[in-house]
Amino acid sequence: MEPRVYTRDQHPISRAAISENALKVLYRLRDAGFRSCLVGGGVRDLLLGREPKDFDVATDAHPDDVRRLFRNCRLIGRRFRLAHVTFGREIIEVATFRAPFGAEDEEGNIELSDEGRILRDNCYGTIEQDAWRRDFTINALYYDIADYSVLDFTNGVLDLHEGVLRLIGDEPEQRLREDPVRMLRAVRFSAKLGLRVAPELDQAMHRHAGLMVSVAPARLFDEVIKLFHSGAAVTCLDELERFGLFEALFPQASTCFADPGRGLEQRAFLVEALKSTDARIRDELGVHPAFLYAAVLWAPVQREAQARLAADEDPVAAWQQAMSVVLERQVQRVSIPKRYSLVVREIWDLQQRLPRNQGGRALKLLTHPRFRAGYDFLCLRARVGDADPDLCQWWTDFQQTDEARQQEMARGAPGGAPATRTRPRRRRRKAPSAS
């Protein structure tokens, strides 16, 4: 297969736009006699005039060869071995060219599940073979450091110009069975880059959304974060629902949104939270995975808690149990590491504590490590009618005033007590009777 070659004067990519560390890796591999190319999303984004989030390298050097060349390298992966070359906080991922399925190598390390999903794949090949093993045409573009040309084996440049997201090959259903996560990547790329999904891929995704339940929950955690932290989270939600993928990822939330009573209101809260996330990413502000999961699962935890309260459970125990049950069910589909699930619980717990703003409680809540996240969550709820807007405004004013005024506000809060009294007054014991 001969690629379409775009010489240096036929494409807009400049080395000045490429990470200095990525260039170090490319040049060292080249100088050691290996072929080395920038590949995938980095090349795609540079062609679109965007700033790449990261830079990946493809080479004919095997992982052990890469490790010998770079002391700051470690090998990862069971499904496909990769080399991570670390420069401080930046990681340059280096992958060896892959061979097509069924190819024989000295290791023979290709393993498929009964459904056709790739379990292990360490069979190495040529750059031509590697291009046809990638998922989308727009991600099968190579920037060759040897002559600064762009190599296109799958008409990816044409698809970029036409705004089409297309799977490589003539059998999209087989490609989705090989790796169902490609459906999530299709949603992310189409939403983030404004591409329309090719008709054959669109139809295949509708038919095979159910394959998502076979993917390891731990792998889906990272993919969900990439989706909703892409800067196009609201569009991603719409597309996930259109293909039936949201139900596969978040069955509890999907059930709540389908409820004819509060479903639209509960979905509106999630949309508001995703709009806020998109705005923070545009403004280059921090976003936390725990806040995202707290928003996605808020409707299920409300439903579970209300069911327990209706059964006359203690209110505190009802909410604590509801949080545990919802998280335990969710991790069966999408894993949530404990360091994030604990923060999710704290955000939810603050929704019960923030209304109790009388007296010294308000001042104490200001020192809570998750206060800001809980307050932001409360105000998002208030925007869609799920919480009292006056309560959100009260906490906004409370944070912006001086301590003396805070004392006054706390005394004037609903059910307020003197702000200096943080503990109930002890009752004085009566002296024993002389009789």
Q: Return the active site residues.
A: 54, 56, 135
Provide the Cα torsion 109, 114, 115, 118; round to 10°. Answer: -10
- Position 428, amino acid: R
Query: Is there a contact between 62 and 99 (Cβ–Cβ < 8 Å)?
Result: no
SS3 9: helix
* β partners of residue 142: 39, 151
- Position 232, amino acid: A
Q: The tokens of 40 are what?
A: 């995938």
3-state helix, strand, coil in the chain (%, to 5): 55, 10, 35
User: Which residue in 367, 366, 358, 374 sits closest to 422, CA to CA?
Assistant: 358
Instruction: Give the angle subtended at the CA of 34 by the CAs of 31 and 36, to the nearest 5°.
Output: 90
| Backbone angles phi and psi of 415, in degrees to 5 | 75, 20
Identify the sign of the CA torsion 354, 299, 338, 309.
Answer: positive
DSSP strand pairing (141-144 vs 149-152): antiparallel
Q: What does the DSSP 8-state code read for residue 245?
A: H
Residue 421: which residues within 8 A CB-CB, separation 6 or more? 359, 360
Q: The tokens of 210 are what?
A: 């159910």
